């Protein structure tokens, strides 16, 4: 039976909404999460599990990612689940002089924020990753980067949230939100209405739709990314790899992409615990289309084989695509929407939502339960797009 009155309703059962539910329930807040499909049926179920600090730029995103990583350190124990967290380091590899300059300058800026990024010589690169092609000129290495199983995180948070008293309703769609005198008053679902004064909008790429229900304009749009999955093989790399080209496309193109629809992106690779390799990824704006394409898969495959020639002999077993919730500045949107009291954003994490889920859950829960408004929320609120 769906609850009829509750302190907080969370819209969206992806990793972000579920993390918020857990941290709220843990503080004794009466919370209902409403998801129109299954848990993690959106982007959180069609992604990779990188918990890499090096890919978080050199500003506020890196600062919050470091806090999130700290939470991940003890999350297995806290949730009582094996989340397959491995802190096995990551490298950003460069093939051109421009890319070498880019990774050197990024590493320097990241060190100023407290992230220990090493620069490897060509000899050290070969020693660490003998399978890498000679076209790799330079690389960084960050030993505290790691990977996790994103589905295990979502389901681990959900199980723990339920234990703490949260109600999670799947296959329940939010169809409207009532506002009374500038304050949220109820959520209308296809299984009845729920009275509440606080709604968390964690609807991933669908947050603009949910924002429209209260008259708020939220600048998030889907950015497709494809991933290739190989057969399970014995280890050929240590830790995970990303190309500088991928990061440059992530941070240099803003929200428009090159021409908007053109495929960009680059190489990223990690091994899952069972030996399957996950290889990514492309970046493109094609609306809500989450199909894979021959063009996208070929783009990723070509990058991968050029950088790791041994992959020529490894079979793909599946490909899939997910839609990243992309904001104009690549940063999440967190906190209350100014015109609508009680309407709180927890969305727009682009390609970083797995890494940022624990800190997002904690920040939003502390805002709601204790009224805490730290610097992070001040920098990541919706108002930054309203000037």
Token pair for residue 246? Answer: 């991928």
User: At 319, phi and psi to the nearest 5?
Assistant: -135, 150
Smaller CB distance to ligand FAD: residue 52 or 371? Answer: 52
Q: Binding of ligand FAD at residue 156 (CB under 6 A)?
A: no
Query: Which range of residues in 90-98, 163-171, 243-251, 321-329 is near ligand FAD by CB under 6 A?
Result: 321-329
240 membership: H or E segment, kind and range: strand 240-243
Q: Binding of ligand FAD at residue 34 (CB under 6 A)?
A: yes
Q: Binding of ligand FAD at residue 359 (CB under 6 A)?
A: no
Q: Binding of ligand FAD at residue 219 (CB under 6 A)?
A: no
- Window 365-384: residues binding ligand FAD (CB under 6 A): none
Q: Binding of ligand FAD at residue 222 (CB under 6 A)?
A: no
- Window 241-280: residues binding ligand FAD (CB under 6 A): 280
The residues that bridge with 32 in the sheet, in sequence order, are: 9, 167
Q: Binding of ligand FAD at residue 214 (CB under 6 A)?
A: no
Count residues contacting ligand FAD (CB under 6 A)?
44
DSSP 79: H
User: At 293, phi and psi to the nearest 5?
Assistant: -130, 160
Q: Binding of ligand FAD at residue 14 (CB under 6 A)?
A: yes
- Window 64-103: residues binding ligand FAD (CB under 6 A): none
With CB under 6 A as the contact rule, the residue among 6, 10, 21, 43 that binds ligand FAD is 43
Count of Cβ atoms closer than 10 Å to residue 232 Cβ: 14
List C-alpha distances in Å: 323 to 204, 211, 240, 289.
Answer: 9, 18, 22, 8
Q: Binding of ligand FAD at residue 204 (CB under 6 A)?
A: yes
With CB under 6 A as the contact rule, the residue among 85, 206, 285, 299 that binds ligand FAD is 206
CB of 177 closer than 8 Å to CB of 184: yes
Q: Binding of ligand FAD at residue 355 (CB under 6 A)?
A: yes
With CB under 6 A as the contact rule, the residue among 50, 146, 257, 358 that binds ligand FAD is 50
Q: How far is the CB of 251 from ligand FAD (least distance, A)?
A: 15
Smaller CB distance to ligand FAD: residue 27 or 170? Answer: 170
CA 74 to CA 61: how far, in whole Å? Answer: 21
The contacts found for 288-294 with CB under 8 angstroms, 24 or more apart, are 288/205, 288/222, 288/323, 289/224, 290/46, 290/222, 290/224, 290/321, 290/322, 290/323, 291/321, 292/226, 292/319, 292/320, 292/321, 293/226
Binding site for ligand FAD (CB under 6 A): 11-17, 34-37, 41-44, 46-50, 173-174, 202-206, 210, 225, 227, 280-281, 322-325, 347, 349-355
């Amino acid at each position: 039976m769906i609850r009829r009155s509750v302190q907080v309703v969370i819209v969206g059962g992806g990793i972000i909404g579920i993390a918020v539910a857990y941290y709220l329930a843990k503080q004794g807040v009466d919370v209902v999460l409403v998801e129109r499909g299954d848990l993690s049926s959106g982007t959180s179920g069609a992604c990779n599990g990188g918990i890499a600090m090096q890919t978080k730029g050199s500003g506020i995103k890196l600062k919050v990612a470091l806090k999130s990583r700290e939470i991940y350190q003890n999350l297995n124990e806290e949730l009582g689940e094996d989340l397959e967290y491995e802190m096995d380091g990551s490298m950003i590899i460069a093939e051109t002089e421009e890319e070498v300059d880019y990774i050197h300058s990024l590493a320097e800026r990241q060190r100023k924020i407290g992230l220990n990024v090493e620069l490897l010589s060509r000899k050290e690169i070969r020693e660490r990753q003998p399978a890498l092609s000679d076209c790799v000129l330079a690389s960084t290495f960050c030993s505290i980067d790691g990977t996790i199983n994103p589905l295990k995180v979502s389901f681990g948070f959900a199980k723990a949230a339920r234990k703490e008293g949260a109600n999670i309703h799947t296959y329940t769609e939010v169809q409207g939100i009532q506002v009374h005198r500038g304050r949220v008053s109820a959520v209308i679902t296809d299984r009845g209405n729920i009275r509440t004064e606080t709604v968390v909008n964690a609807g991933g790429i669908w947050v603009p739709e949910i924002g429209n229900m209260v008259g708020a304009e939220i600048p998030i749009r889907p950015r497709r990314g494809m991933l290739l999955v190989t057969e399970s093989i014995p280890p050929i790399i240590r830790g995970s790899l990303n190309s500088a080209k991928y990061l440059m496309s992530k941070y240099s193109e803003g929200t428009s992409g090159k021409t908007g629809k053109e495929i960009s992106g680059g190489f990223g690779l990690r091994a899952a615990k069972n030996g399957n390799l996950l290889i990514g990824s492309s970046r493109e704006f094609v609306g809500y289309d989450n199909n894979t394409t021959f063009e996208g898969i070929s783009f990723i495959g070509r990058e991968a084989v050029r950088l790791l020639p041994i992959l020529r002999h490894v079979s793909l077993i599946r490909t899939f695509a997910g839609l990243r919730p992309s904001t104009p500045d690549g940063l999440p949107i967190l906190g209350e929407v100014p015109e609508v009291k009680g309407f709180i954003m927890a969305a727009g994490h682009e390609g970083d939502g797995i890494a940022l889920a624990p800190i997002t859950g904690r920040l939003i829960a502390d805002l709601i339960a204790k009224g805490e408004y730290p610097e992070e929320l001040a920098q990541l609120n919706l108002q930054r797009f309203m000037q």
